[in-house]
Structure 1
Amino acid sequence: MTLVHVIRHGKPAATWGGADEDPGLDTTGHAQAVAVAEAILALPERPTRVVSSPLRRCRETAEPLARALGVELIIDPRVGEIPTPAALSHEERPAWLKRAFEGRWGEIQGDLDYVVWTQGVAAALREYPGAAVFSHFVALNAAVGAATGRAEVMAFRPDHCSRTVFEIDGDGLILVEKGREAQSQVL
């Protein structure tokens, strides 16, 4: 069985749509990053690669595991945050995302086809067998939707530093285990 572990980033220093467009982790988030690295290192089969979204909160969450494994951090924008319409101001993005969460991937209004975006997230994950991939709330929902065939944007509410496990099956993903859920500040 070929697994990929997808971890939501730790608690950021600012909320999505806040003044800082690329916040790092706060004190709690840094502690969460160390704790998830320790939990992953205790697995019977450790990841062999560490992949991260380019955003700072993911990179900072991934760094303790990459350091402990002695591997270079791979940056892949395909596991990054959901692209928002270019015409939206930074302040308008949270309301746009809230509307998106109430519907289906094919109904999201924006500059791209979000069904295709979810397929891109899943395709990226399939390229990293045996890896730990550090990503975001929405990208995790995209991966779960791709694995389960669900069209709803909100498949679950992954908590900060929760680990969701997928089996890579040729051209598909199979959901093995959803990560710990919690309320999100996104909604």
Structure 2
Amino acid sequence: MKYYFIWLMSILMIETSYGQNKLPIDETSGKVVFKKTSTVILPRSEMYKRTRNWLLYQYATSKFEDHFNISKKGKPVYLAEDSRMRSISGKYGFYVMYPVEDLSGLNMEQTFVMYTLTVNFKDSAFETKISDLKCFTTSTSRNGMRPPQFDLETYNSVQLNRLDHVQQYIIPQVMNSVRKIHEDLYRNIRYGNLTSE
């Protein structure tokens, strides 16, 4: 009976470890990368123009430059443009929030995820790539054990990935934020600049 119980617990532990959510990893770089290709029946130059306007709007309405000094005279320092209108990229970010227990009860902690968005254009199609994801946290994280800056793929590590707040809050919020970025950009490319007044 004792061996049966040990065998059953082993199977349950193996099944639980396989059922956990993980962030997608690029096989070549070993880093978290999100890619999506979309079809839009527009010339490359028009897709480029609409994407550029969207990127500038996203940057102007964010408050991330206040914290990370990524602007110079109101213009993004990191907005790489291709003169042939084949690609454009910019650095942006989003927040994830999750509950943390400490001596005072249930508190929320906020992590800022900065990423690089690169959009490559072809006639009637474009590919988005979200990469270089970095997390920034407050220095008051649990006993100061976690560094204030780390790569997003850290959440795929065995120690962190099995934690409830990573499975229930962080990974789903990251996936949802990436989905929203893709959808918002797609709408703006397809229907024109929906963000301007």
Same structural fold, with TM-score higher than 0.5 when normalized by the shorter chain: no
Greater strand fraction, Structure 1 or Structure 2: 2
- TM-score, structure 1 as length reference: 0.26
TM-score by length of 2: 0.25
Higher relative contact order (Cα pairs below 8 Å, separated by 6+ residues) = 1
Answer with 1 or 2: which has the greater Rg: 2
